[in-house]
Amino acid sequence: MAEITLDHLAHAYAPGAPHALKPLHMTWRDGGTYALLGPSGCGKSTMLNIISGLLRPSEGRVLFDGRDVTALDTGRRNIAQVFQVPVIYRSMTVGENLGFPLVCRRVPAAKIRARVEAVAERLGLAPQLKRPANALTADMKQLVSLGRGLVREDVAAILLDEPLTVIDPQLKFDLRRILKEINEEFRVTMVLVTHDQTEAMTFAQEIVVMDHGEVVQVGSPSDLFERPATEHVGWFIGSPAMNFLPARLEAGQVVVPGTGLAVPAPRSLSEGPLTLGFRPEHASVVPNGGAFEGRLERIWYEGADEVIALGRDGLQVKVRVAGRHRFEPGSVARIAVDPARLRLFADRRLVA
């Protein structure tokens, strides 16, 4: 188990090529659960492969518990890595697959058997131990890949690169629960790569949001929801996305012209466009007054809630309303926004 430090790390795949991973510096707590979240091509696998040792970073160092492991290959880092496509040894049984890392380390046979049985039990693979691994379904094979990572007692971290993609939704749910139980029981650091915000929010204590090779925010699910560091995060996290309205400075306030949406202007503001943002969850429909009035353009359901889209002068805001209502499409509605939940962005970045 290890605390992982990415020390002034960056990566370009070729000398002079643009950074696939822009310079970053961060430390991941021993025993923590992390998610790397971002769209395809943003550098998630690059970061994960640098941690596991499959890739040497072009700049910076990787430290496990303060020890520089940058030059160590994967085998010597005690890392378990699970990939999108399950890796199994096709000619072996499930049990032999699970025990293989221990066989390679010349662990005594009785010990291997005990470990394999314990891990198989934990993953629900016990009845499959004698079956040829090749005969399993894709999601069971993924469980075997994961189990091979868990069979060693000295793993520093478990790294999972979109491992749930091939897995059916119910098993996905189970597997996420199993991963959390394993984390709680063994306190092993876990890093899950995903492009799915729900997966990240339900799995991780800390989420690393990435965009175009850059780490744009590291925070708990509630940090990302309440205080997105950039408009990108506000847009990427939450459903529907955060509302953003163009604003300007007026008499010591930042206001959205023609609305009641305003916050006190901070003493200094960076150059660039000003925006006020709020979550669809943080507004409510009011009979009169309110901060924004608009025509009801769309109404749809998300679970137990209704979402309404109000439009005015080319602006649109979405509001999530609990329960069922009788909103009349095309009618005019007013909303109030919790002032404590209004966020100011300058040049697309949150103003603290």
Given the rule CB under 6 A, which residues bind ligand ADP?
13, 20, 38, 40-46
Comparing CA positions, the residue from 152, 171, 148, 168 lying closest to residue 160 is 148
Are the C-beta atoms of 190 and 200 separated by less than 8 Å? no
* Complex with ligand ADP: residue 125 or 158, whichever CB lies closer: 158
Q: Write out the two tokens for 117.
A: 């049985």
For β-strands 33-37 and 59-64, DSSP reports them as unpaired
Instruction: Kindly state the smallest distance separating residue 48's Cβ from ligand ADP, in Å.
Output: 8
13's contact among Mg ion, ligand ADP, none, with CB below 5 to 8 A by partner kind, is: ligand ADP
CA 344 to chain centre: 24
Among 5, 33, 45, 128, binds Mg ion (CB under 5 A): 45
42's contact among ligand ADP, Mg ion, none, with CB below 5 to 8 A by partner kind, is: ligand ADP
Are the C-beta atoms of 21 and 47 separated by less than 8 Å? yes
Distance CA 52, CA 329 (A): 53
CA 238 to chain centre: 12
Instruction: Kindly state the smallest distance separating residue 159's Cβ from ligand ADP, in Å.
Output: 12
Instruction: Kindly state the smallest distance separating residue 18's Cβ from ligand ADP, in Å.
Output: 8
Q: Write out the two tokens for 149.
A: 């990572």
Instruction: Kindly state the smallest distance separating residue 320's Cβ from ligand ADP, in Å.
Output: 29
Max CA distance (Å), the chain = 78
Task: Using CA atoms of 300, 306, 310, 315 in order, give the dihedral in degrees to the nearest 10.
Answer: -80
Select the residue whose beta carbon is closest to Mg ion and give its number.
Answer: 45
Instruction: Kindly state the smallest distance separating residue 290's Cβ from Mg ion, in Å.
Output: 44
* Complex with ligand ADP: residue 42 or 276, whichever CB lies closer: 42
Q: Does 49 bind Mg ion (CB under 5 A)?
A: no
Distance CA 66, CA 230 (A): 31
43's contact among Mg ion, ligand ADP, none, with CB below 5 to 8 A by partner kind, is: ligand ADP
232's contact among ligand ADP, Mg ion, none, with CB below 5 to 8 A by partner kind, is: none
89's contact among Mg ion, ligand ADP, none, with CB below 5 to 8 A by partner kind, is: none
Instruction: Kindly state the smallest distance separating residue 199's Cβ from ligand ADP, in Å.
Output: 14
Rg, Å, the chain Cα set = 24
Q: Which residues of this protein are in contact with Mg ion, per CB under 5 A?
A: 45
